[in-house]
Amino acid sequence: MTWTIIDEGRYSEPIQQALEPVLLDRVDAGEIGPTLRFWYRERPAALLGRFQDYSDEVATGYVEERNLDVVRRITGGGAMFVEPGAVITYSMYLPRSEVPSDVEESYAELDRWTIDTLRDLGIDVSHEPLNDIAHPDGKIGGAAQLRRENAVLHHTTMSYDLDIQEMLRVLRIGQEKVSDKAISSAEKRVARIGEYVDISRDDVIDAMVDTARNRFDVTERSLTDDELAAARRLADQKFSTSVWNEEL
């Protein structure tokens, strides 16, 4: 499988989220091949899953006070708090033919190269169904997928050195959700890559790119002007509007 890697560009959260359907649709239409994109953010933000209720998940008063971006993803799954430089987010846009048809199997398969990279760095991580990357201390990251007719989006966010206290101020972490995990403190639920390695976040991303190079046929490119223009339009029309972000 030949992957094209896009590993550059710092964008606002609405543009980042808008790039997801833009690139997924281009793979779906056969205009571009398998693509891996790393994200670089401008500001802290809260991300909502496609089906989550805004006020159930976000501490609305604090978010307004801090003027944080809250952006709904096109994928399901849970709310996340992200900060520039403190998380690693990447997206894979793949033809369906390259992805196992079984959903559970596809999460495990598409997380594998990342988990192998982290293990090579000495971190005790494993895939935890359905969509978690887990360390014995807690969850390091999570993935979410969306399927189109001919393409699959698989995007993952992992904590490098996320500010957990701030996360707990921004998100309402439901007790309900942790009730079956026998964990008393929400803090214990997040484990951070930076606690287990002495290398920088950029070095971790470089290690991931190296894994991809060794495993797949890899080329690199930038986003095209056309892709960016489409994402900026979609950010304006959808991903920066309260209709999309706050309503269902």
Partner 1 sequence: MTETIDARSSKKVPDGKLIRVDLTYDDRIESVTITGDFFLEPPEAREELERAIEGHPNDVERDELLVAIQDVDASLIGFTAGDLADVTREALT
Q: How far is the CB of 52 from partner 1 (least distance, A)?
A: 6
54 vs 241: CA distance, rounded Å: 13
Contact 74, 92 (CB under 8 A): no
The answer to whether residue 91 forms part of the interface with partner 1 (CB under 8 A) is: no
Match 């894994």 to its residue by tokens.
Answer: 211
The answer to whether residue 12 forms part of the interface with partner 1 (CB under 8 A) is: no
Considering the complex, state which of residue 131 and residue 159 has its C-beta at the smaller distance from partner 1: 131
- Give how far Cα 96 sits from Cα of 1, 27, 45, 92, 132, Å: 13, 9, 30, 12, 21
The answer to whether residue 228 forms part of the interface with partner 1 (CB under 8 A) is: no
Residues 40-59 within binding reach of partner 1 (CB under 8 A): 49-53, 56
How many residues of this chain bind partner 1 (CB under 8 A)?
25
Contact 153, 89 (CB under 8 A): no
Contact 53, 22 (CB under 8 A): no
Q: Given candidates 22, 24, 68, 144, which one binds partner 1 under the rule CB under 8 A?
A: 144
Which window, 10-18, 30-38, 76-84, 215-223, contacts partner 1 (CB under 8 A)? 76-84
Q: Which helix (H) or strand (E) holds 126?
A: strand 126-128
The answer to whether residue 183 forms part of the interface with partner 1 (CB under 8 A) is: no
Considering the complex, state which of residue 8 and residue 51 has its C-beta at the smaller distance from partner 1: 51
- The SS3 call for residue 238 is helix
Binding site for partner 1 (CB under 8 A): 49-53, 56, 74-79, 103, 129-130, 144-147, 174, 176-177, 179-180, 248
